[in-house]
Amino acid sequence: MSFFSLWWKDLPSKQRIAVKKLLDTKQLEFVAGGWVMPDEANVHYLSYFTQLIEGHQFLQQHFNVSPRNGWAIDPFGLSTSLNFLQTRAGINNTVFMRTHYILKHFLRENKATEFMWRQLWGK
């Protein structure tokens, strides 16, 4: 959101209206909505929530929207806590690509690429 906010700040009102229309018609969606893209593999929960709150506040103030979907692009993997933290932030789904090739093959073969990701602790 930090780079988007810089773009938004200088955007003429006509283009702002067009962006808001795309959001209203669901042709544009903000995913995750964090102020930055954190390191998903080993981020501290306080750092994760701090940047997420800042991004979500920006989206609420300017568009009255809250992200419901996530997108994990980190090339180094994901933490077992990531889905736990995102769920508490209101994010219901996350798309991620980086996983071990054996697991990816297993999920494809078993038609299980959509799954409920749960950690061993918590709900």
The answer to whether residue 122 is domain-embedded is: no
What pLDDT, in 10s, does the model give residues 21-58?
999 999 999 999 999 988 877 778 899 899 999 999 99
pLDDT bracket for residue 121 (50, 70, 90): confident
**Number of structural domains, the chain?**
1
The whole domain housing 96 covers 2-109
Distances, alpha carbon 32 to alpha carbons 9, 47, 57, 85, 93, in Å: 21, 15, 12, 11, 9
The answer to whether residue 85 is domain-embedded is: yes
The answer to whether residue 121 is domain-embedded is: no
Which positions are annotated as active-site residues?
Answer: 74
The answer to whether residue 26 is domain-embedded is: yes
CATH code of 103's domain: 3.20.110.10
Q: 96 near 72, Cβ under 8 Å?
A: yes
The answer to whether residue 29 is domain-embedded is: yes
Any idea which residue has 């990531």 for tokens? Answer: 82
The three-class DSSP label of residue 60 is: helix
